Amino acid sequence: MNFISDNTAGASPRVMSALAAANEGPAAGYGADDWSRRVEERFGALFEREVAAFLVTTGTAANALALASLVRPWGAVLTHRESHVVEDECGAPEFFSDGAKLIELPGTGAKLTAATVTEALDHRQPGSFHNVQPQALSITQATACGTVYTPAEVRALRDASQARGLAFHMDGARFANAVASLGCSPAEITWKAGIDVLSFGGTKNGAWAAEAVIFFDKAMAEEMTWRRKRAGQTLSKGRFLGAQFEGLLAQDHWLDLARHANAQARRLSEAVAAGDKARLAWPVEANEVFIILPPALHATLQAAGVRYHPWSTRSLAPENALQPGEILARFVMSFATDPAEVTRLIALIG
């Protein structure tokens, strides 16, 4: 019973079939292939407007290159202190932006609020060469704590940052899970709410290794051709990135995969909420379940071979503070999670 991460799952059979089909015959290199061209058109249809889409292999590359295109070396990115760009990118956003600073902000459930962003901006003097200048705001959707920003919350963040002219980036490593949870269109939660650039995640949701940096304003994408190449992310055989997205996006397969993962997370969360052995740290809004485990239950799960990830308590609300001996544990569901394994886990927790 492995619930450590959605990275532990393989690729969707449809994605593997698309890769096999793309393997037949020759194709132009370096993104000039038919698959990459069609995928950009598919993204345009999905988001209801013309976009510029740059395919890369990792979420780290997507986030780092997206932010590097939005900020200068003396600039700064406002983001949550538990965001992927802070915690999980090994300094790549700073490296590829030639030194732009990440300003880490607090927030329950790893979510930023408009008030927090406004306070952070008020603390920075515009035009002062003593201060790095905030030039971008980056949010994670779904967040590192499995919570989801609504379109209204995204718009409020846009309003809070727009007066200072900040660009708005969304790290969508689990974007599919967020869209499936909200039941809205991809456009409603991105550019219609004020997002300028989206890192569209495929790897956690059934791809083998495929992410996309999507610019909703093509003028903002002018540097990306060179930045992607300089970062070693312009694949010679780029058709195999395009093919993965073709397999994912066709017939809303990407959303079906996310719905399965979300449904298994919901099953587990409902069982925890109905019992009295453990409690939920935050509402379960996507495919991650964060459970506060008492020592005895933690020992039971470990003895049964259940695998999960101990988690930071920095984004817990005060009323959910851990009692002595308790741990906060993350359980992640994927498109490949076997419902029978969730049933076994529920029985152990029950």
Is residue 131's pLDDT more than 90? no
- Tell me if 98 is assigned to some domain: yes
129 has a pLDDT exceeding 90: no
Q: Both 68 and 92 in a single domain?
A: yes
- Same domain flag for 130 and 231: yes
Last residue of a domain, one of 237, 252, 267: 252
What pLDDT sits at residue 140?
Answer: 98
- Specify whether 240 is located in the same domain as 342: no
- CATH code, domain carrying 277: 3.90.1150.10
All residues at 6 or more sequence positions from 213 whose CB lies less than 8 Å from its CB, including other chains: 53, 54, 56, 62, 65, 66, 197, 198, 199, 200, 224, 228
Residue 155 has pLDDT above 90, yes or no: yes
Tell me, yes or no, whether 281 and 154 share the same domain.
no
User: Which residue type occupies 224?
Assistant: M
Let me know whether 58 and 23 are in one domain: yes
Three-state DSSP at 56 gives strand
List the CATH number of the domain containing 78: 3.40.640.10
| End-of-domain residue from the set 252, 284, 307 | 252
Query: Which residues sit opposite 140 in a β-bridge?
Result: 171
Note whether residue 2 is domain-resident. no
pTM: predicted TM-score of the whole model, two decimal places: 0.96
**166 plus 206 within the same structural domain:** yes
What is the structure's pLDDT at 50? Answer: 97
Question: What pLDDT is attached to residue 265?
Answer: 98
Angle made by CA atoms 35, 40, 42, in degrees to the nearest 5: 90
For residue 42, give every residue at least 6 positions away whose Cβ sits within 8 Å of its Cβ, in sequence order, or none. 245, 246, 249
Q: Supply the Cα-derived Rg of the chain in whole angstroms.
A: 20
pLDDT of 124 above 90: no
Reported as a single tens digit per residue, the pLDDT across 40-99 is: 999 999 999 999 999 999 999 999 999 999 999 999 999 999 999 999 999 999 999 999
Looking at the structure, tell me whether residues 109 and 244 fall in a common domain.
yes
Count of the separate structural domains present in the chain: 2
Query: Do 218 and 144 reside in the same domain of the chain?
Result: yes
- On whether both 76 and 184 belong to a single domain, the answer is yes
Residue ranges making up the domain that contains 140: 9-252
Closest CA to 300 of 273, 320, 329, 266: 329
Whether 4 is covered by a domain: the verdict is no
Give the pLDDT score at 212: 98
pLDDT tens-digit series, residues 233-280: 999 999 999 999 999 999 999 999 999 999 999 999 999 999 999 999
Q: Band of the pLDDT at 163, cuts 50, 70, 90?
A: confident
